[in-house]
Amino acid sequence: MKNQEYTATTMAGLEEVLAQELIEIGADEVQLARRSVYFSGDLKLLYKANYCLRTALRILVPIDSYKIHSADDLYQRAKNFKWEELFGVDQTFAIQSTIFSDLFNNSMFASLKLKDAIVDRFRYKLGDRPSVNSKNPDILINLHIANEVCTISLDSSGESLHKRGYRLDQNEAPMNEVLAAGLIRLSEWDRQSDLIDPMCGSGTIAIEAAMLANGIYPGKIRKNFCFKNWRSFNPELFQQMEQEAQPVGLPLVKISASDISRRNIDIASKNADEAGVGSLIDFKVSDFKLLEPSSEKPFLLFNPPYGERLTPDDTNFYGMIGERLKHHYTNATVWIISTHQCLKSIGLRPSRKISILNGSLECSFRKYELYSGSKKAVVDKAEAE
């Protein structure tokens, strides 16, 4: 089968873990870029990337790339492209564009030019045109223009891959599934020791950890991918990939998740059942202030509540987290994501800091290693910033 070039998009800070995932699933020519990773592979690998990757948002398939000097250049070349070989008049399509170019005042105008070209091509060739459906299209086309370089890709995923399909309900500040999976990989959790999320909200970190440790790929739950609507879709090849991607003989790992809110625990446990990992996670209602570690060498990964500005309440709350960790979690490895300001109030010295964006908010993902005895210094009030 012929190799083709692809682009997997992700969030800022997750490029390297996505590249690792791509290498693990057998991608070739893996190359880091800004909020994305380029790679190559055959058609089966394209299906596999959509099905297996936990830290990718979309998998794009570039179909044409060229230099333009005007909006009309975009139209003319796109009108000569054989769109009718990719999809039919009875299917709907939509265009998503990202434009960094003086040739266009706004991305809407560029999208319109491309839409006109596609519609005119269909009319000219088949006497009829496909309709646009911006909410739920069969075919999603990605237009990227950087200065004078225009790249048109097919979006093989459609809806962003963070939408796994298990989130039936959510708390007020749910974490993006791709971010949760990325943090778990960045933390280098060994996938064997007990993982605890003591402020689990709707359960995203616990669910992603349980799926990872037990070899359950996100594609097992999600049913829709845009590539299934392409003329080139090969259902036998997809089925073959799906059979090969089933978990084999992995150890069952126990994950603990708690939250102060009963409602959130109910939501999280319903989501976990939907993801097929409900029996692998121990859920309970608990205030972190009173929570005791559930194992000898606990591994905690969590995101406490935070807002854009630090309030006196935040300072006290983060102070409480630091105190609790210091006195009750000796021998623990703890990773916390929050704002730089909030994390300062924890009063523990991190052994690692990773900058990461959560939505549009600049955050830090920090590792705290808690020891008793000789290495006690690590837990002393020592945030030297």
Ligand X SMILES: C[S@@+](CC[C@H](N)C(=O)[O-])C[C@H]1O[C@@H](n2cnc3c(N)ncnc32)[C@H](O)[C@@H]1O
Footprint of ligand X (CB under 6 A): 171, 173-175, 198-202, 204-205, 259-261, 264, 287-289, 303-305
* Cα 366 to Cα 353: distance, rounded to the nearest angstrom: 5
Amino acid letter at 4?
Q
Task: Provide, rounded to whole angstroms, the least separation between the CB of residue 304 and ligand X.
Answer: 6
Radius of gyration of the chain (CA): 23
CB-closest chain residue to ligand X = 201
DSSP character at residue 203:
-
User: According to DSSP H, which parts of 35-92 are helical?
Assistant: 43-52, 71-80
Task: Provide, rounded to whole angstroms, the least separation between the CB of residue 171 and ligand X.
Answer: 5
165 three-state secondary structure: coil
Joined tokens for residue 362: 């600049």
Task: Provide, rounded to whole angstroms, the least separation between the CB of residue 29 and ligand X.
Answer: 34
Asked whether 88 and 255 are in contact (CB, 8 A), the reply is no
Task: Provide, rounded to whole angstroms, the least separation between the CB of residue 64 and ligand X.
Answer: 39
- Give the nearer residue to ligand X in terms of CB position, either 271 or 330: 271
Asked whether 145 and 48 are in contact (CB, 8 A), the reply is no
Task: Provide, rounded to whole angstroms, the least separation between the CB of residue 28 and ligand X.
Answer: 34
- Give the nearer residue to ligand X in terms of CB position, either 15 or 197: 197
Task: Provide, rounded to whole angstroms, the least separation between the CB of residue 303 and ligand X.
Answer: 5
Asked whether 221 and 166 are in contact (CB, 8 A), the reply is yes
Task: Provide, rounded to whole angstroms, the least separation between the CB of residue 283 and ligand X.
Answer: 12
- Give the nearer residue to ligand X in terms of CB position, either 141 or 206: 206
Beta-carbon contacts of residue 312 (< 8 Å; ≥ 6 apart)? none
- Give the nearer residue to ligand X in terms of CB position, either 62 or 305: 305
| β-sheet with 299-302: strand ranges across | 281-285, 255-259, 195-197, 299-302, 333-338, 361-369, 352-358
* Cα 105 to Cα 317: distance, rounded to the nearest angstrom: 46
- Give the nearer residue to ligand X in terms of CB position, either 68 or 301: 301
- Give the nearer residue to ligand X in terms of CB position, either 207 or 226: 207
Task: Provide, rounded to whole angstroms, the least separation between the CB of residue 83 and ligand X.
Answer: 40
The residue ranges of DSSP E strands in the chain, in sequence order, are: 4-9, 28-33, 36-41, 58-67, 93-100, 139-146, 149-155, 195-197, 255-259, 281-285, 299-302, 333-338, 352-358, 361-369
* Cα 180 to Cα 209: distance, rounded to the nearest angstrom: 8
Task: Provide, rounded to whole angstroms, the least separation between the CB of residue 9 and ligand X.
Answer: 21
- Give the nearer residue to ligand X in terms of CB position, either 237 or 357: 357
- Give the nearer residue to ligand X in terms of CB position, either 138 or 259: 259
Joined tokens for residue 198: 């003591």
Strand duo 4-9 + 36-41: pairing: antiparallel
Asked whether 93 and 139 are in contact (CB, 8 A), the reply is yes
Task: Provide, rounded to whole angstroms, the least separation between the CB of residue 20 and ligand X.
Answer: 23
- Give the nearer residue to ligand X in terms of CB position, either 9 or 264: 264
Measured CA distances, 373 to 86, 263, 335, 378 (Å): 66, 40, 21, 10
